[in-house]
Structure formats: C-alpha cells, structure tokens
Amino acid sequence: MFSIRATVWILLTLGALDLRAQDRWPEISRKGVLRWGNDAEGGAPYIYHDPSNTDRLIGFEVEFAEALCARLGLRSEFVQNNWDLLVPALGTGDTFDLIIAGLERTPENLARLSMSRPYFAFGQQLVVRSNDLSLSSLDRLRDRSVGVLSASASQRLLERHGGVRIRIYQDNVNYFQDLELGRIDAVLADSPIVEANLPLHPHLRKAGPFLETGFYAVGVRSADRELLRRVDDAIESLQQQGTLKRIYSRYGLWGAAQEALSGWRDEGVAVRERISVWRDWRVYLPLLLRASVTTVWVTCGGMALAVVLGLVLVLARLHGPTSIRWVAVAYIEIFRGTPLLLQIYFIYFGLAQQLGLRLSAGLAAVVALGLNYAANEAENYRAGIQGVPQGQVDAGLALGMTRSLVLRRVVLPQALRLCLPSVTNDFIAMFKDSSIVSVIALVELTKEYQIRAIDTGDYVGLGLMTAGIYFAISYAASLGARQLERRLRRDPH
C-alpha cells in the first residue's frame, strides 16, 4: 500500500532512466519555444503573482528566464511543477526543457543532471527571533529546532553540521511564521528568501554573517550538451551586457557577489557518486523504519480520535434532539466535503493566527486526521446500526429494556461487526493519507523517502523499500482486522 505522492516519484524517475536520449536543442529551436520548470509557490523574490495583476507571474527568476529565452531567440513558456519534483520530472523530457528555479550548483545536483554557469550567487543566512540574543551561530543551536526548505542547500548544511533538530518545510513562508510563533528556534534559508521575508516579520532578525555561499544555475538533462552550451553563452552575454544587473537591481538583489559572477570560471566540482541503496541498505532501511514510526503513531492517534468522535456523531445524528442532529449532519458534510490538506492548514496555521492556539505539528496532524475521518466513521456506524433488524430493537423493548440498554447491548455489538470491514479500510486509507502531514514539517515515511531519494539519486531502490514498509504495515493491519472479525462473528452452529 503505497502513497500516491511516492508513486508519482517512482513513475517520474523511471522516465528519467533513459540515458541514451538525444540532445533536444534541434527540436527546441524548430518549435521556437523553451519550456522552463519552476514552482509558483517559490514566492518572492523568485517567482510570484503580481499583486496588481494576479494572472501575471513576476520575480527575478521569471525575468531572467524571459531574458535568457530572448537571447536564444525563443519564446519563453513557464511550466508549473512541484519544486522537489523538478529534477526527476526533467528526466522525462516531455514536461519541460530545463529548470530555472533556484537550483543550487552542488555535487549532489551535478550527479543527476548537467548545470550551467551560475546566474545568481547567494548565502546561507540564519534567522532568529529579535528578542533572542543568545543565538548567533549554528554551534549555539545545539539540540534546538531549525526550519529549512526541503531538498535545499540549507538542509544539507545542517545535516553535515549535526547537533540540531531539523524541521523540513515545503515552502519559503511557513517556517518564518512558525519561528515567530515559537514553534521552532531558528530558520536557515538562502539570502534572497530572507531579504524578501524579513520586512514582513518585524519580530525576526538575521543572526550573524552568511554561513556558506553558493550559486544558482540552470539545470538541463545530461544528454542536452548543445542546449547547455547555448545557455552558458547566453548567461555570459546577459552578465556582460548588464541585463542581469538591471533585473536583480529591481528586486534589491544586486551586490558584489553578483558582480563577481562575470569573472566566474568553472574550476570543476567534485561530482558526488550516485549511491546504491541496495548496497547500503543497512544505512537507509533503518532511516525509513524510524520514519515509519511517525506514520504509525500519527495514524493510530488519528484513528482513535476518529473512532470515538464518529460514534458520538452517529448517536447525535440518530438519537439526539433536532438541533443536535443538524449540528452532527453539518459536521459530517463539511468535513467530508472539504480537502484534508485545507483542514490541516486551518488547524495548524489558522488556529495559531486567529486564536493563538499553537498546536505542535504532531498533535495538529493527529487532530486533523481524526476530525476528518470521524465524518467517515460516523457514516460507517450509521450503516451498521441501520443494518440491525428493527425487530430486534422491538423485542428488546418488549422485554422491558430501555432504549439506551437496547442500543448498548443489542444494536451496537452487531453494528460493530457489520461496519468493521469499512472501518479497517478507512484505517489503511488514513495510513496512506498520513503522508500529507509533511506539509506542516512532520517527517513521516513518504517524506523521508523523498528526502533520501533526492540525496542519493536512487528513487527506485528507496521507493521499493518504502513501498515494502507500507505494504507490510497495511497487511498486518488487515490480518488483525480479519482476526477481530472472526472473533466477533457468531457461529450459527
């Protein structure tokens, strides 16, 4: 039983395995269109929607992409894609032609694709709360929690440094909010992200100088040598003619580091050897198993809440006064009719903003899953209760039993047996849906797979390991449910 997101990763990666692909430049030049991949959730100053025209994308990378395409004599075409899926998606060759998305020129990335000369220089900047004067370096953050962007240079820097609790986010906005709310102790991010977001968060400040410098570069498939050569020439031309200076100056990003790019020379980067997960399974299997513990306790906690709350809802709907019945029906329809992702954001971020209720990521995940699935369990129970013959209820009442006693001793035990398969199915569904809680920086099994796949470049080996863990736990849950069904089943003989 594998999550949908992890399956998408494997499918995209399988398309990336064709190493014999031909250079795509002739086809690109014939069509006259250059498709570049990025994620519009990247936010300012990279790529974001113009406040005065919400249909228009702006940002320094948008303008850079347009200038690059113009220099190549091509029409620019933006393609939306999740940031952490850009590299595997590029390998398919059918989604977009290159990546312009704050992709760092690192040994890890150079092991998976070819990269152009840098078009932007950045630094790793530490951010803390303004009233916290004790934190000025990573060494002072030992055993503290630090927010980073998933699959970023910031994450890799913290992993190399060690000694801190890494909280991994999927966007460049929410970790600043969590830092202000006190959920984490610091944020480590690329300097453009910090420059764009600090004015929006007056209670935060920079802590010390850059911890590490790096470069953004255009990513292309390894086979696209001619495309890479032309992109390199175009970037050098944009630098020499001052086009990049004009673009970056509009966003307050021009400085000595960008000026120095004009003299950049490729001195070679030690390309990281691709890791074989099958060879090093003793390293990666324990990592996945530890992450699966988070998946299991989040699922079990959410299901326990759903089972209890679902029973309350169905009893209120079937036997409560009219006003309570309407409340129960409204709850069920609202939670079944709105996306789980929206509910997670509302519970984790919305309640903290509006009511000051600062739930931890783990508690928010359990509550969100439990509240959502309680609506489904209420409907399962209702089907089970209504499946008990009315004659048994009438017989119990005729024997002098109260309605509550009939419900407790006659109806509910039989209803449980009838609805147990549906409840088990929901438990397994929640087990897979728990992967969505990674949006609030909770690293569960699928998120751990994603992190390690980006790090190693071995999507298939890790994917099969992860799928095996999902299947083993789901199958164990199914066996347990079948055993319970057999115990509850009445033998007519």
Question: So where are the chain's domains?
Answer: 4-119+215-263, 122-206, 281-488
Q: Let me know if the fold of 4-119+215-263 is the same as that of 122-206.
A: yes
Per-residue 3-state assignment (H helix, E strand, C coil) for the chain: CCCHHHHHHHHHHHHCCCCCCCCCHHHHHHHCEEEEEECHHHECCCEEEECCEEEEEECHHHHHHHHHHHHHCCEEEEEECCHHHHHHHHHHCCCCCEECCCCECCHHHHCCCEEEEEEEEEEEEEEEECCCCCCCCHHHHCCCEEEEECCCHHHHHHHHHCCCEEEEECCCCHHHHHHHHCCCCEEEEEHHHHHHHHHHCCCEEECCCCCCEEEEEEEECCCCHHHHHHHHHHHHHHHHCCHHHHHHHHCCCCCHHHHHHHHCCCCCCCCCCCCCCCCCHHHHHHHHHHHHHHHHHHHHHHHHHHHHHHHHHHHHHHHCCHHHHHHHHHHHHHHHHCCHHHHHHHHHHHHHHHHCCCCCHHHHHHHHHHHHHHHHHHHHHHHHHHCCCHHHHHHHHHCCCCHHHHHHHHHHHHHHHHHHHHHHHHHHHHHHHHHHHHHHCCCCHHHHHHHHHHHHCCHHHHHHHHHHHHHHHHHHHHHHHHHHHHHHCCCCC
For the entire predicted model, the pTM comes to 0.79
Mean pLDDT for the stretch of residues 452-463: 81
Q: Does domain 4-119+215-263 have CATH number 3.90.1150.10?
A: no
Which residues are registered as beta bridge partners of 121? 215
Q: Is the pLDDT of residue 406 over 90?
A: no
User: What is the distance between the alpha carbons of residues 283 and 288, in angstroms, rounded to a whole number?
Assistant: 9
Q: Which of 187-191, 240-244, 257-261 is least confident?
A: 257-261
Residue 271: the pLDDT is 56
* Confidence tier at 299 by pLDDT (50, 70, 90): very high
The b/e string for 363-397 (b: 16+ C-beta within 10 A; e otherwise) is ebbbbbbbbbbbbbbbbbbbebbeebeeeebeebe
The residue among 13 and 48 whose pLDDT is bigger is 48
Mean pLDDT for the stretch of residues 208-233: 94
Is residue 45 within 8 Å of 38, Cβ to Cβ?
no
* Confidence tier at 401 by pLDDT (50, 70, 90): confident
Q: Which of 276-290, 325-339, 407-421 has the highest mean pLDDT?
A: 325-339
* Confidence tier at 1 by pLDDT (50, 70, 90): very low
The residue among 208 and 179 whose pLDDT is bigger is 179
User: What is the distance between the alpha carbons of residues 110 and 114, in angstroms, rounded to a whole number?
Assistant: 6
Q: Is the pLDDT of residue 15 over 70?
A: no
Mean pLDDT for the stretch of residues 310-323: 93
Q: Which of 190-194, 267-271, 411-415 is least confident?
A: 267-271
pLDDT digits (tens, 9 = 90+) for 442-451: 889 998 898 8
Long-range CB contacts (within 8 A, 24+) of 344-349: 344/368, 344/436, 344/437, 344/439, 344/440, 345/439, 345/440, 347/371, 348/440, 349/174, 349/177, 349/440
The residue among 466 and 270 whose pLDDT is bigger is 466
Q: Is the pLDDT of residue 16 over 50?
A: no
Long-range CB contacts (within 8 A, 24+) of 333-336: 333/375, 334/375, 335/371, 335/372, 335/374, 335/375, 336/375, 336/376, 336/379
Residue 414: the pLDDT is 86
423: tokens are 């409840």
- Architecture of domain 122-206 in CATH? 3-Layer(aba) Sandwich (3.40)
Place of tokens 């490729």: 266
Residue 20: the pLDDT is 42
Closest CA to 335 of 284, 297, 301, 376: 376
What is 281-488's CATH number?
A: 1.10.3720.10
Whole-number Cα distances in Å, 156 to 64, 106, 116, 269: 26, 10, 21, 16
Q: Which of 91-95, 134-138, 234-238, 279-283 is least confident?
A: 91-95
Mean pLDDT for the stretch of residues 188-216: 92
The alpha carbon torsion through 387, 393, 394, 400 (nearest 10 deg) reads 180
Place of tokens 């909280």: 167
* Confidence tier at 437 by pLDDT (50, 70, 90): very high
Q: How confident is the prediction for the chain on average, in pLDDT? A: 88
